[in-house]
Structure 1
């Protein structure tokens, strides 16, 4: 019997990349910020387990009653935007973004963070800034819903089925799968390889281990 077709058999017309945990390492800042937030709002930090990759608004909706959510969301945004200490670009991230830009491959960052937070972290790390950055501020429903991926593809004018997604969280990967994105690459920065392999088409330790070739405005994943 012929083998099943691989999602990497043909080049991708667009690339959608998560930011935190995929392009940059912000875990220490994230943990500091949320621990401070939990102390201020009387939330047990253990309740944050399994929330990586989920927007702050969706996290808070599961933790606090409706009448406290607006103030709580404003506060975590304030704390996180102010704390960019120790955030660094992950291996291979700048090189991949540079190659995609040089090859004119439609590329977007799709992050669970708000617009102000995303721009603060991009500026702090000097991460190459693609023309399109989709944030939680741009959609009514952020990750774990598929809306951010769908918006990213639409702004690139690329069918989601022709998009390569790079993500580190289970929530983000599941959302991308629901959005109909063809190729899902997972980075093992915040989840185990075993977990990621249940959803992703390819799992790598970091983006320096992802081999790509840019050709005619498209990108091909090679060595799979």
Structure 2
């Protein structure tokens, strides 16, 4: 497992690289929805008889339907997912934009970045509205792909909708499932801490190219050769 202390800074890791587009995860990367997510999952767990809801490991970065399918029998998955979706749609109190998000997005031209999230489209819209985040023209959600993260489909679709080669994309992610998805799609990866520690992110196989404490410590510079990432 790579030592996060030995991983280069984003500026050093990508010093010789440029990208045609940046694909951002949303929750934990652009916005902080952790309190709302945890409230909804713990209430859902209590309602559905999941033992020890207070000890439930809240999933981040994986589509909720996939997680529920691992916890409940097949005949209970769909109604249980519908209930969780209802809880999440109606509780977005405290969802905020993370530090650095607005500055980074302002540095990127429209059409050169997208949001790729494991949320459903209605939930993504609700969380962006609650936080004040203005959605870009391209937003890929769990509703748009047959297989969500950690499969590569979400990032492959994001690159396709932007009209770029996925190997020319930088993915910014906060969760191991998203890192795995991005790597499988052939993308470079910058991981940001928050929902997971630097050790957890660096231990993903394959590992991200770099780990940062958030978007506030990086900048994006767009030039004739593409997008460069530098340390702030």
Write out per-residue CA displacement over residues 23-48 of structure 1, whole angstroms, 9 at most, x where no aligned residue.
00000000000011101111133774
Q: 1:113 and 1:41 mapped to 2: Cα distance?
A: 21
2:28 matched to which residue of 1?
21
Q: 2:50 and 2:33 mapped to 1: Cα distance?
A: 22
CA contact (8 A) 1:166 1:186 kept: yes
1:35 matched to which residue of 2?
42
2:108 alignment partner, SS class:
helix
Task: Confirm whether residue 51 of structure 1 aligns to residue 56 of structure 2.
Answer: no
Between the two proteins, the alignment pairs up a number of residues equal to: 217
CA contact (8 A) 1:105 1:219 kept: no
Q: 1:32 and 1:93 mapped to 2: Cα distance?
A: 24
Q: 1:46 and 1:141 mapped to 2: Cα distance?
A: 29
Task: Confirm whether residue 190 of structure 1 aligns to residue 228 of structure 2.
Answer: no
Please, what TM-score do these two structures have when normalized by structure 1? 0.91
Unpaired segments ≥5 residues, structure 1: none
- Written as runs of structure 1 = structure 2, the 5 A alignment for 1:178-217 is 178-181=184-187, 183-198=188-203, 199-216=207-224
- Over aligned residue pairs, what C-alpha RMSD do you find? 1.9
1:98 matched to which residue of 2?
106
Deviation at 1:50, TM superposition (A): 6.8
1:98 alignment partner, SS class:
helix
Q: 2:93 and 2:152 mapped to 1: Cα distance?
A: 30
Deviation at 1:51, TM superposition (A): 2.8
Among 81, 85, 89, the residue aligned to 2:93: 85
Write out per-residue CA displacement over residues 163-200 of structure 1, whole angstroms, 9 at most, x where no aligned residue.
0100000111011101111x211111111112222311
Q: 1:176 and 1:169 mapped to 2: Cα distance?
A: 11
1:74 matched to which residue of 2?
82
Shifted more, 207-216 versus 12-21: the winner is: 207-216
Change (3 A) 1:62 1:8: farther
CA contact (8 A) 1:12 1:220 kept: yes
Q: 2:198 and 2:118 mapped to 1: Cα distance?
A: 21
- Segments ≥4 residues shifted beyond 4 Å: 5-8
Q: 1:118 and 1:217 mapped to 2: Cα distance?
A: 32
Among 181, 203, 210, the residue aligned to 1:175: 181
Deviation at 1:217, TM superposition (A): 7.9
Deviation at 1:7, TM superposition (A): 5.1
